[in-house]
Amino acid sequence: MVAREDFCRGLLMKTVFAGFATMGLIFGGNALAADLPVKGPWPVPPVYLFTWTACYLGGSAGGGWGHKESADPTAIITGAASIPLVTVNPSGWLVGAQAGCDYQFSGNVVIGAEATFSGGLIEGHSVLPILHGNPGDSATATAKIDALATHNWPPGICL
């Protein structure tokens, strides 16, 4: 009895499959979407040309440090008593801005103008004794940068 149920179930499955296959052949057709003719020529994608022509603004912030040593250079020549070596180690901060414009001529020649300015405080001090003064007299040597400014007119070639 079990064999007969398996046989009927298999026959039913084959009949259903055959029915769907027949319906697909009768009602199915070719997919025409890919075969439709194009109306007119394909559009040409735009050509994007890179250019250096532009203006720009920017800002900057940072720190700085240095090391400066100095002595009396005349003591070497004259043989006089020399002021001792003075060492100053400045450090501090700067904040600035830059602005500029570039223009690219037809071809690959570029010219521009740029200016930068930074202000801040990078400073260092060193105390040194005065050799030919009263005991306890001293002087202070200072190294200081409080502003920087630059400008340039850079020419260039684009490769």
Integer Cα distance of 13 and 114 in angstroms: 82
Q: What percent of the chain has pLDDT over 70?
A: 79
User: For the chain, which ranges sit under pLDDT 70?
Assistant: 1-8, 29-36, 38, 72-84
Neighbours of 65 (CB within 10 A): 10
pLDDT of residue 82: 59
**pTM higher than 0.95 for the full model?**
no
112-144 pLDDT, tens digit each:
999 999 999 999 988 877 777 777 777 788 888
Residues 6+ apart with CB under 8 A from 89: 65, 66, 67, 68, 124
pLDDT of residue 154: 87
